[in-house]
Amino acid sequence: MDKLLSNLIIYRQANEESILSRLGNIFERFHSGADTPEHLKNDIFTEIRRLLELATKYGFDNNLWHNYLTYFIITNENPFSFTYEKTGKQDGTVNLFAENDFSIFKKLFDYDFSEIEKKLDINCFSIISDYKAIPKREQIYNKNVSEKVRALSREIEAARNGSEVLEAVSGFYKSHGVGTLGLNKAFRLKYDGGSVALSPITNMEKVMLSDLVGYELQKNALVANTEAFISGKPANNVLLYGDSGTGKSTSIKAIVNKYYDRGLRMIEIYKHQFKDLSTVISQVKNRNYKFIIYMDDLSFEDNETEYKYLKAIIEGGVETKPDNVLIYATSNRRHLIKESFKDRNDTQYQEDIHRSETVEEKLSLVNRFGLTIGYLKPSKAEFENIVLELARKHPSISASDEEIIAEAHKWEMRHGGISGRTAQQFVNHLSGKSE
């Protein structure tokens, strides 16, 4: 194994702490006789444990060694993988180097561990090559990554040589991308030693637009804008405003689920992080994806000034906002920023002689969103329709429509009033009782 790894070119290890790099070091010590069997066994077991932890996180199964090597290839960000992400496989000399590396990975796939297992009296490599994972709920592991890794792993297993592995991997890069951004739908900001990075959200809700009953005009407007964005056409930043519990956030999550396979990604950011918006955008502007910067429940109090960071990003400073980034925000306030009567009275309060300009600056933020979509509280009839539509998705609920509606109104009077959220909570309650 150590000799194979030393011949890699494009995928030569940059991270010496990776499982593959550390195993290569162990095998080098094994073949040179530079370490004791007990020490080698201890180090091997450490890497096997790390591999098992990765397998649990991503739901790997069958051959964990193959799954790991595939995961390594998928997440390895280098000039070659970035180029194939953007253009797909093209003719070029670099393909010769890539084919060399993938021939090595094919040999690593088929590596015979029997020698080291026999001499060290271990069988851990044999066990992980025929592994049966414990069934887990999707919330426990990243199913989205798991399915992609295992599918490509099977393609590489079936490949006869490095050329066929190159075809499979380059096709994956073009279809799904490279690294963390390629494998995950949504991200939040992570701070590490003063630097800002994107951290995957691995358990994003799998809601679809059809799960949100009603609001067809609103959903259609959001779909049309996102469709234009994904297709490379001009599109607008979007503000979804209106009453609480009407489905604003659900609509944005559903949009990401709908267009994920076409390269849409979401970055969730909070108000206190607005100062880092420029840094985040600089990290994603050259990637082959479309990004929605998602701001939930956006509003500003009178003394808060973070809105100026947001205005600067939307308007564009010296550097223009890239074409692959849009901002989608939700708010219960139509104008985002709290106004007071003090703001509106130019004569009574003289401490700011340009108060009208101050008010205008605050209220102008909403105008920076080219598309504003209102999600208003449903009427009584609309609420009843939402309840019945949601209830019909639960076969366990056998009550009549009249009984369901009567109980729904009792529920909403005790639980926050009429809204789509209240309707969903009532149906969850009713389904739980029925089951």
Q: What are the structural domain ranges in the chain?
A: 2-183, 199-375, 380-434
Residue 234: the pLDDT is 92
For tokens 């990290």, what's the residue? 283
CA separation for the pair 301, 310 (Å, rounded): 15
Range with lowest mean pLDDT among 30-44, 115-129, 357-371, 392-406 = 357-371
Provide the token pair at 77: 């960000």
Say if residue 192's pLDDT is above 90.
no
Average of pLDDT values for 404-409? 88
* 199-375 placed in CATH 3.40.50.300: yes
**Per-residue pLDDT band at 347 (split at 50, 70, 90):** very low
For 281-322, write each residue's pLDDT tens digit: 888 888 888 999 999 888 766 666 666 667 666 765 555 678
Average predicted confidence (pLDDT) for the chain: 84
Q: What is the DSSP letter of 167?
A: H
Are the C-beta atoms of 293 and 328 separated by less than 8 Å? yes
Cα(205)–Cα(424) distance, integer angstroms: 15
Burial status of residue 68 (CB atoms within 10 A of its CB: 0-12, 13-18, 19 or more): buried
Determine the Cα–Cα distance for residues 285 and 282; give it in Å rounded to an integer: 5
Radius of gyration (C-alpha) of the chain in whole angstroms: 27
For 157, what's the count of Cα atoms within 13 Å in the CB-facing half-sphere? Answer: 14
pTM: 0.77
Q: Which residue has the higher pLDDT, 87 or 167?
A: 167
Q: Residue 88: enclosing H or E segment and its boundaries? A: none
CA–CA distance, 108 with 119 (Å, rounded to integer): 20
Query: Is residue 176 a contact partner of residue 148, using CB atoms and an 8 Å limit?
Result: yes
- Residue 370: the pLDDT is 84
Other Cβ atoms less than 10 A from the Cβ of 159: the count is: 19
3-class SS string, 109-153? HCCCCHHHHHHHCCCHHHHHCCECCCCCCCCCCCHHHHHHHHHHH
Rounded (10°) CA dihedral 161, 163, 168, 171: 180
